[in-house]
């Protein structure tokens, strides 16, 4: 399919109108989304209006921006004024925010056309989209398999060719894992690179918005549009970033790449093999490969599954039936809160709220939350130490390729374990990227993961672009 | 009911709304009395996806308060205090927990006693509920309506040490605290409008014993209620103990009409606020330079102003100290100082300012105030006349006191007219005069009254007395 | 740090209360087992000696992010209240509140 770079160039030069590009998108969605369920909502009217506005700018000889006319899928945990925003939850069914997320505003200002809201695990809690209250999405490569999660709908929308770009959010791997499962580039920016204003919070100190694209260069282009300082987000980094689009062409000559044992052990043999092949592609392009171990990364899972639920338990308190969303009426407010939350949240959300409430509660704080925050420091220190020896780390994105529906539902711990390789990046607040690197024997996509030190995301694009070119050969 | 053998231990928590233009974490207006839910945005209504950004001015006010309370101003951060309540839109309050901005301060009260300040931290206010049905109180209402205009208004919570020992002292503490907060410009200090809200922790013990179990009293919205509630509560606790009952640690509500405290809820629903660092905000680390700049901008505080007046007066007897406290409390000390510099006797200026002037209204200029005091001191105006002139000056602040006195008919009688009047009165009251001349001083008042009547109040009392004495001396010789 | 004791059903019920959730008997059973399994996995960190490490609340050491005290536009009240389950007289309406705020 046409990349965002190509499509924007065509729209800006008048080769195709934004409205035509949009109708192609809608047609593709109409043809196959009943089967895949990438979208929870299509904003036909809003998208057509946005496309027309782009066309008007082109007609007037102006420049609608670097994403001119590019149809984009928006994960349904990003607020869009007047457009239903459900977070995949019954508790927000029908809620139309009175404001728009910064990232969506920036996309539109750059000429992009948001086509609708994509499916996700409820409140972004999950690794398969099976936790969506509105039914799961399906992997376009094999509809009996999950697309991954939590940003599964966004991954499916791009992988199925509905849109060249979709936004996701990544708290513990929710962009990279579905990107790997669906054969896409998935990028989780360094914490603070992309504004969280308007992203419905799951775990505030871990959440970060990022793109799904078919090419590394597109990921750079989209991130340059949505990224950068936002005064509405206190955790948004005030200083500027390296040019990511330029980094895509820089090559990897002289770059030290750490092939990390703790991002490989436990992965399927064919995934390990592909990661080793990726290392050899980088070596051939002039990088130096260093084998190393960072055993502390293994502790990430426990730290993550205490910190994220703790923050979530507090972030999700506001769904109380008072101001917006579902209310199950009872005579007194406390009983109404209980009835509303009990009916409105699905089992995984309840599980994590309970876990987080427990981890923060009197008497357990030090043993769980406090200890998890110290472990977070331990892991970050270990990564910092590794980055004194290498410039980037290389490993697998996921231990397996896309699994089947229902495979991990009964045992939450087995589902959580599939996030083992992606979690450390979120804990440290660093950037990481999953790049598609061939398929398994069964024909399912395999992703290779690149990790970089905090705020040196440019290196991900250097490496990613070389891998992308290498796998094509 | 008696406190015999017991002492009361009081610690206060005072919530003070800051006078910023906008709320603590969003740009909505911080304004009292607007149409409900008009000063609201995604942040202060807690809409999903919204994020807080800290208001610099609120921090500056909080630091001013900290410095005025002689606190250490420190590296601090924000925590979430988690509990469900409908007027709190996120169902957690952003507050400060183990690392507050200000710690370890003190207030010296006008009587010289010192109350320790544990901390003065920043937090956000909640929305406001109106209760339908019943008496308008929460109990007995069937439904409530919520307005989030106040949600997110910046507060500083000032927590005292349990250093106070009486309702009177607690009242003096809050009065002094309010004066400080108003002086530094952080708040308007209006307790009735809720811009200052006081909770009192009260316990009793036999002197020397460890602290007893304490009760927290809420809804104290005037200085008077504060003192009454503490006095009531202390007696209640002593009665409990004397009756062999145990004090239950609980929150109690002050019922102003009934003049008693009542239990609000049982503590079996023990609160577990699950505090943890607010991940959407970064730490607050005011620089040494910023703190120094704020310190330089602090106005003179009530204590220093009282000391300056006492020094000016050269007297520190209790009556003077009370007048000084009143004058500073009403923000009239600058006027007294200026009037004194312009020639008014300090003690007279102090007394007249304390008793005749009101800072809420229009004030005379220092020059007119000084001139009026001088007219009184010289005997040109009687005390009553001087007070009347001051009242007239408030109506016409630009007028000359002499002109006002004239307009009021207070112009000095000529010496001739006065001695003629005195002579006529003596003549007409022969018997009384004989007794006065014989040494019956009580009759002086009688003659002053008669002369006043004859001169339609224009006579100066002191001048009449000296004329009477002159004539008595002449008669005796 | 010693290994915390295993999660009990009573604790699960207590935590559900704090979180304003109601669990059926069956859910109490399942959640106790499932949460217990996550917590016992977390034993790998609860047994670590992390003395001296500063708890990490944020990825980066930003400080003093402040905005100036300048009013910005508020929401349109009708748009805000349109999303509310119940409204009266320009306010959000709720049922009986059983106690004052803590
Ligand atoms: Mg407080
Ligand atoms: Zn607001």
Chains with 3+ CB–CB pairs under 8 A to B are A, C
Packing angle between helix B302-313 and helix B318-329, nearest 10 degrees? 130
Kindly determine whether residue B276 and residue A101, on different chains, have CB atoms separated by under 8 Å.
no
Q: What number is the ipTM of this complex?
A: 0.97
pLDDT at site C5 = 65
| Residue in B208, B212, B200 with CA at minimum distance from that of residue B248 | B212
- Among A118-122, B435-439, C6-10, top mean pLDDT goes to A118-122
* Closest by Cβ to A317, choosing from B84, B144, B276: B84
pLDDT tens-digit series, residues B68-78: 999 999 999 99
Give the least confident one: A160-174, A181-195, B151-165, B301-315: B301-315
* Closest by Cβ to A313, choosing from C1, C19, C31: C19
Domains of chain A, by residue range, sit at 4-247, 256-297+379-472, 303-366
| Residue in A176, A152, A141, A143 with CA at minimum distance from that of residue A404 | A143
Which phi and psi angles does B438 have, rounded to 5°?
A: -75, 0
Distance from CA of A284 to the nearest CA of B (A): 43
| Residue in A40, A297, A75, A70 with CA at minimum distance from that of residue A179 | A75
pLDDT at site B270 = 61
State the pLDDT confidence band at A406, using cuts at 50, 70 and 90. very high
> Which residues, other chains included, contact A139 with Cβ-Cβ below 8 Å and sequence gap of 6+?
A145, A146, A147, A148, A156, A159, A181, A182, A402, A444
Region B435-444 average pLDDT: 88
pLDDT at site A433 = 98
Which residues in chain B have Cβ-Cβ distances shorter than 8 Å to C18? 272, 274
Sheet with A432-439, side-by-side order of all strands: A39-42, A113-118, A71-75, A165-169, A209-213, A185-188, A432-439, A445-451, A392-396, A256-260, A288-292
Which residues in chain C have Cβ-Cβ distances shorter than 8 Å to A339? 22
pLDDT at site C4 = 55
Which residues in chain B have Cβ-Cβ distances shorter than 8 Å to A102? none
Q: HSE of B421 in the Cβ direction (CA atoms, 13 Å)?
A: 25
The strand pair at A209-213 and A71-75 is best described as unpaired
- Among A239-248, B41-50, B340-349, B376-385, top mean pLDDT goes to B41-50
Give the least confident one: B3-12, B219-228, B312-321, C50-59: B312-321
> Which residues, other chains included, contact B273 with Cβ-Cβ below 8 Å and sequence gap of 6+?
B81, B82, B83
The strand pair at B92-95 and A392-396 is best described as unpaired
Domains of chain B, by residue range, sit at 7-296, 302-407, 415-476
DSSP single-letter state for residue A90:
G
CA dist list (Å): A285 to A281, A288, A465, A466, B390: 6, 9, 11, 8, 94
pLDDT at site C2 = 44
Question: CA A355, CA A310: separation in Å to the nearest integer?
Answer: 7
pLDDT tens-digit series, residues A261-278: 999 999 999 999 999 999
pLDDT at site B110 = 87
| Residue in B50, B47, B23 with CA at minimum distance from that of residue C70 | B23
| Residue in A97, A95, A86 with CA at minimum distance from that of residue A120 | A86
Which phi and psi angles does C43 have, rounded to 5°?
A: -60, -25
pLDDT at site C101 = 81
Domain A256-297+379-472 is of which CATH architecture? 3-Layer(aba) Sandwich (3.40)
Of B157 and B422, the one with more pLDDT: B157
CB contact at 8 A, B147 and B128: yes
Cα of B50 vs centre of ligand 2, distance in Å, is 10
- Summary mean pLDDT of chain B: 91
pLDDT at site A1 = 75
Q: What is the CATH number of domain C9-46?
A: 1.10.20
pLDDT tens-digit series, residues B217-273: 988 989 999 999 999 999 999 999 999 999 988 899 999 899 999 987 654 456 799
pLDDT at site B358 = 77
Burial of B247 (0-12, 13-18, 19+ CB in 10 A): middle
pLDDT tens-digit series, residues A41-61: 999 999 999 999 999 999 999
Ligand that comes closest to the CA of residue B97: 1
Closest chain B residue to the Cα of C64, Cα to Cα? B284
- Among A438-442, B205-209, B363-367, top mean pLDDT goes to A438-442
pLDDT at site B466 = 84
CB contact at 8 A, A279 and A471: no
pLDDT at site B268 = 44
B265 touches chain C (CB under 8 A): yes
Q: Which of A137, A174, A203, A452 is catalytic?
A: A174
CA dist list (Å): B414 to B428, B458, B459: 21, 10, 10
Question: CA B147, CA B128: separation in Å to the nearest integer?
Answer: 5
pLDDT for residue A308 is more than 60: yes
Which phi and psi angles does C95 have, rounded to 5°?
A: -75, -155
Question: CA A150, CA A154: separation in Å to the nearest integer?
Answer: 9
pLDDT at site B153 = 98
Please check whether the two domains, A4-247 and A256-297+379-472, share a CATH topology.
no
pLDDT at site A463 = 98
CB contact at 8 A, A294 and A386: yes
| Catalytic residue flag (residue A75) | yes
pLDDT at site B329 = 85
* Closest by Cβ to C4, choosing from A339, A364, A413: A364
> Which residues, other chains included, contact B339 with Cβ-Cβ below 8 Å and sequence gap of 6+?
B349, B353, B366, B369, B370, B373
- Summary mean pLDDT of chain C: 92
Q: Which of A137, A150, A195, A203 is catalytic?
A: A150
Within 10 angstroms of residue B474's Cβ, the number of other Cβ atoms is 9
pLDDT at site B475 = 80
| Encoded tokens for B267 | 């503590």
State the pLDDT confidence band at A473, using cuts at 50, 70 and 90. very low
pLDDT at site B137 = 76
| Catalytic residue flag (residue A174) | yes
B68 touches chain C (CB under 8 A): no
Kindly determine whether residue B57 and residue C92, on different chains, have CB atoms separated by under 8 Å.
no
Question: CA A450, CA A447: separation in Å to the nearest integer?
Answer: 10
Question: CA B330, CA B448: separation in Å to the nearest integer?
Answer: 36
Burial of B166 (0-12, 13-18, 19+ CB in 10 A): middle
Residue B453 CA, distance from chain mean position: 43
The vertex-B227 CA angle with B224 and B228, nearest 5°, equals 85
- Among A218-227, B412-421, C92-101, top mean pLDDT goes to A218-227
Provide the chain B residues 145-204 that lie in CB contact (below 8 A) with chain A: 146
Q: Which of A17, A19, A25, A75 is catalytic?
A: A75
Kindly determine whether residue B52 and residue A234, on different chains, have CB atoms separated by under 8 Å.
yes
Q: What is the DSSP string of A194-253?
A: B--TTBPPSSTTT--EEEEESSHHHHHHHHHHHBS--TT-TTS--S----HHHHTTS--T
pLDDT at site B361 = 73
Q: How much of chain A, in percent, has pLDDT values that exceed 70?
A: 100
| Catalytic residue flag (residue A150) | yes
Kindly determine whether residue C71 and residue B38, on different chains, have CB atoms separated by under 8 Å.
no
CA dist list (Å): A272 to A293, A401, A432, B265: 15, 12, 18, 61
What length does chain C have?
Answer: 102
pLDDT at site B267 = 43
pLDDT for residue B412 is more than 70: no
pLDDT at site B265 = 65
Kindly determine whether residue B89 and residue A357, on different chains, have CB atoms separated by under 8 Å.
no
B28 touches chain C (CB under 8 A): yes
pLDDT tens-digit series, residues B172-188: 999 999 999 999 999 99
Give the least confident one: A356-360, B156-160, B468-472, C59-63: B468-472
Q: H or E stretch including B418?
A: helix B415-428
The pTM of this model reads 0.91
- CA trace torsion A384, A386, A390, A391 (10° rounding): -30
Which residues in chain C have Cβ-Cβ distances shorter than 8 Å to B141? 96-97
Cα of B156 vs centre of ligand 2, distance in Å, is 18
Within 10 angstroms of residue B362's Cβ, the number of other Cβ atoms is 12
- Summary mean pLDDT of chain A: 97
Sign of CA dihedral C58, C62, C64, C69: negative
| Encoded tokens for B155 | 């507060």
B399 touches chain C (CB under 8 A): no
CB contact at 8 A, A437 and A448: yes
pLDDT at site B359 = 67
Distance from CA of C74 to the nearest CA of A (A): 11
- Beta-strand ranges (E) seen in chain C are 66-67, 87-88, 91-94
Cα of A416 vs centre of ligand 1, distance in Å, is 38
- In CATH terms, the superfamily for domain A4-247 is Amidase signature (AS) domain (3.90.1300.10)
pLDDT for residue B437 is more than 70: yes
pLDDT at site B269 = 53
pLDDT at site B408 = 84
pLDDT tens-digit series, residues A34-43: 999 999 999 9
- Topology at the third CATH level for domain B415-476: Arc Repressor Mutant, subunit A (1.10.10)
């Amino acid at each position: 399919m046409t990349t965002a770079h190509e499509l924007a160039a065509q729209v800006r030069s008048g080769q195709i109108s934004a409205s035509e590009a949009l109708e192609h998108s809608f047609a593709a969605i109409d043809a196959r989304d009943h089967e895949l369920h990438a979208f929870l909502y299509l904003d036909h009217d809003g998208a057509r209006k946005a496309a027309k506005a782009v066309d008007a700018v082109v007609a007037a000889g102006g420049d609608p921006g670097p994403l001119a006319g590019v149809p984009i899928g928006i994960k349904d945990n990003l607020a869009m004024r007047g457009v239903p925003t459900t977070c995949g939850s019954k508790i927000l069914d029908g809620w139309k925010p009175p404001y728009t997320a910064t990232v969506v505003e920036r996309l539109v200002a750059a000429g992009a056309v948001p086509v609708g809201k994509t499916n996700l695990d409820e409140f972004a809690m999950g690794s398969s989209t099976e936790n969506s209250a509105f039914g799961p999405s399906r992997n376009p490569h094999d509809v009996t398999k999950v697309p991954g999660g939590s940003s599964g709908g966004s991954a499916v929308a791009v992988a199925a060719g509905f849109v060249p770009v979709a936004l996701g959010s990544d708290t513990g791997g929710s962009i990279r894992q579905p990107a790997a499962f669906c054969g896409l580039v998935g990028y989780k920016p360094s914490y603070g690179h992309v504004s969280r204003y308007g992203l419905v919070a799951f775990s505030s100190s871990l959440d970060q918005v990022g793109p799904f694209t078919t090419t590394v260069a597109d990921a750079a282009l989209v991130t340059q549009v949505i990224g950068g300082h936002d005064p509405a987000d206190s955790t948004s980094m005030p200083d500027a970033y390296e040019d990511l689009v330029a980094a895509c062409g820089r090559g990897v000559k002289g770059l030290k790449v750490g092939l990390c044992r703790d991002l490989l052990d436990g992965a399927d043999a064919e995934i390990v093999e592909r990661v080793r092949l990726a290392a050899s592609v980088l070596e051939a392009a002039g990088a130096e490969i260093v084998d190393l171990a960072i055993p502390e990364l293994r502790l990430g899972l426990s730290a993550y599954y205490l910190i994220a639920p703790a923050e979530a338990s507090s972030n999700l308190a506001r769904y109380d039936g008072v101001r917006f969303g579902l209310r199950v009426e009872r005579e007194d407010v406390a009983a109404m809160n209980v009835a509303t939350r009990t009916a409105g949240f699905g089992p995984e959300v309840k599980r994590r709220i309970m876990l987080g409430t427990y981890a923060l509660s009197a008497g357990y704080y030090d043993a769980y939350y406090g200890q998890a925050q110290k472990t977070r420091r331990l892991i970050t220190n270990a990564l910092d130490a590794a980055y004194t020896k290498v410039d980037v780390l290389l490993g697998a994105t996921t231990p397996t390729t896309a699994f089947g529906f229902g495979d991990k539902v009964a045992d939450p711990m087995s589902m959580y374990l599939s996030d083992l390789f992606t979690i450390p990046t979120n804990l440290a607040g660093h950037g990481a990227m999953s790049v598609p690197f061939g398929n398994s024997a069964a024909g399912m996509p395999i992703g290779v993961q690149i990790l970089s030190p905090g705020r040196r995301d440019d290196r991900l694009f250097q490496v990613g672009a070389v891998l992308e070119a290498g796998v094509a050969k | 009911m008696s406190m015999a053998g017991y002492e009361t231990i009081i610690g206060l928590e005072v919530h003070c709304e800051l006078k910023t233009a906008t709320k603590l974490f969003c740009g909505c207006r911080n304004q009292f009395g607007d149409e409900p839910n008009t000063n609201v945005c995604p942040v202060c209504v807690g809409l999903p996806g919204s994020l807080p950004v800290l208001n610099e001015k609120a921090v500056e006010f909080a630091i001013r308060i900290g410095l005025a309370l002689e606190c250490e101003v420190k590296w601090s951060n924000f925590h979430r205090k988690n509990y469900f309540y409908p007027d709190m839109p996120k169902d957690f309050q952003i507050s400060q927990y183990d690392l507050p901005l200000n710690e370890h301060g003190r207030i010296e009260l006008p009587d010289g006693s010192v109350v320790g300040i544990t901390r003065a931290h920043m937090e956000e206010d909640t929305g406001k509920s109106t209760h339908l049905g019943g008496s308008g109180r929460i109990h007995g209402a069937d439904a409530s309506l919520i307005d989030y205009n106040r949600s997110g208004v910046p507060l500083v919570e000032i927590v005292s040490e349990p250093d106070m020992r009486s309702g009177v002292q607690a009242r003096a503490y809050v009065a002094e605290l309010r004066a400080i907060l108003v002086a530094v410009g952080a708040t308007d200090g209006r307790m009735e409008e809720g811009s200052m809200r006081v909770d009192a922790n009260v316990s009793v013990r036999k002197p020397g014993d460890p602290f007893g179990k304490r009760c927290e009293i809420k809804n104290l919205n005037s200085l008077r209620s504060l003192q009454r509630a503490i006095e009531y509560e202390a007696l209640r606790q002593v009665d409990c103990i004397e009756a062999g009952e145990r004090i239950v640690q609980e929150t109690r509500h002050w019922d102003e009409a009934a003049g008693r405290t009542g239990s609000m809820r049982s503590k079996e629903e023990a609160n577990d606020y699950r505090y943890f660092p607010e991940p959407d905000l970064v730490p607050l680390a005011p620089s040494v330079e910023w703190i120094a700049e704020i310190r330089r901008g602090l106005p003179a505080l009530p204590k220093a102003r009282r000391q300056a007046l006492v020094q000016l007066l050269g007297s520190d007897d209790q009556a003077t100290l009370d007048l000084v406290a009143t004058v500073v409390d009403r923000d009239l000390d600058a006027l007294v100082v200026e009037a004194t510099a312009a020639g008014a006797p300090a003690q007279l200026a102090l007394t007249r300012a304390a008793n005749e002037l009101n800072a809420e209204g229009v004030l005379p200029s220092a020059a007119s105030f000084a001139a009026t005091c001088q007219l009184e001191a010289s005997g040109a105006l009687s005390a009553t006349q001087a007070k009347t002139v001051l009242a007239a000056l408030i109506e016409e602040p630009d007028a000359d006191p002499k002109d006002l006195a004239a307009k009021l008919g207070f112009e000095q009688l000529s010496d001739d007219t006065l001695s003629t009047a005195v002579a006529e009165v003596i003549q007409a009251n022969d018997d009384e005069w004989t007794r006065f001349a014989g040494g019956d001083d009580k009759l002086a008042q009688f003659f002053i009254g008669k002369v006043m009547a004859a001169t339609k109040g224009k006579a100066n009392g002191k001048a009449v007395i000296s004329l009477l004495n002159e004539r008595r001396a002449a008669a005796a010789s | 740090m010693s290994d915390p004791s295993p999660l009990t059903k009573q604790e699960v019920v207590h935590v559900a209360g704090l979180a304003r959730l109601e669990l059926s008997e069956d859910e109490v059973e399942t959640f106790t087992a499932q949460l217990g399994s996550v917590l016992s996995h977390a034993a790998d960190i609860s047994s670590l000696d992390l003395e001296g490490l500063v708890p990490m609340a944020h990825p980066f050491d930003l400080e003093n992010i402040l905005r100036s005290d300048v009013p910005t536009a508020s929401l349109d009240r009708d748009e805000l209240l349109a999303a509310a389950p119940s409204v009266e007289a320009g306010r959000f309406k709720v049922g009986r509140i059983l106690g004052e705020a803590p």
